[in-house]
Structure 1
């Protein structure tokens, strides 16, 4: 059976999502890896080094915050 895709990318299987909602750590890690490129894109910023020169980089603080929010949205049931 062909796996469903969205914009050419294979979607996460439903059993992985259900396992993550149940608190399975490996399933949560798989979801975080699945969304890693998207989160990196959201956290890309112009950062400045000690000499004041700009460079493009990932805001690690924001990345960790977004990952925590994603895990919270998956695990916490309202």
Structure 2
């Protein structure tokens, strides 16, 4: 059976989402890995090094907060 895709990317199976909602930590990790590229994209900011020079990078604080919110939304979904 062919897996469903959206814009050329294979979608997460529903059973993985249901397992994560039931408390399966491996399924939750799989969901976080699935969305990792998207989260990195929206957390990309202009940051400054210790000398005050700007560079483009991922705001790790923002990334961890978004991952926590995603985890909370999955686990607390009724």
TM-score range, shorter chain: over 0.9
Cα distance, 1:6 vs structure 2: 0.5
Unaligned segments of structure 2, at least 5 residues? none
Query: C-alpha root-mean-square deviation of aligned residues, in Å?
Result: 0.7
Q: Which runs of 4+ in 1 moved over 3 A?
A: none
What's the TM-score once normalised by structure 1's chain length? 0.97
Deviations 1:16-58 (A, max 9, x none): 0000010100000000000000000010000001111100000
Given the two structures, how large is their TM-score scaled by the length of structure 2?
Answer: 0.97
Identify the residue that residue 71 of structure 2 maps to in structure 1: 71
Aligned residues: 78
Q: Unaligned 5+ residue runs, structure 1?
A: none
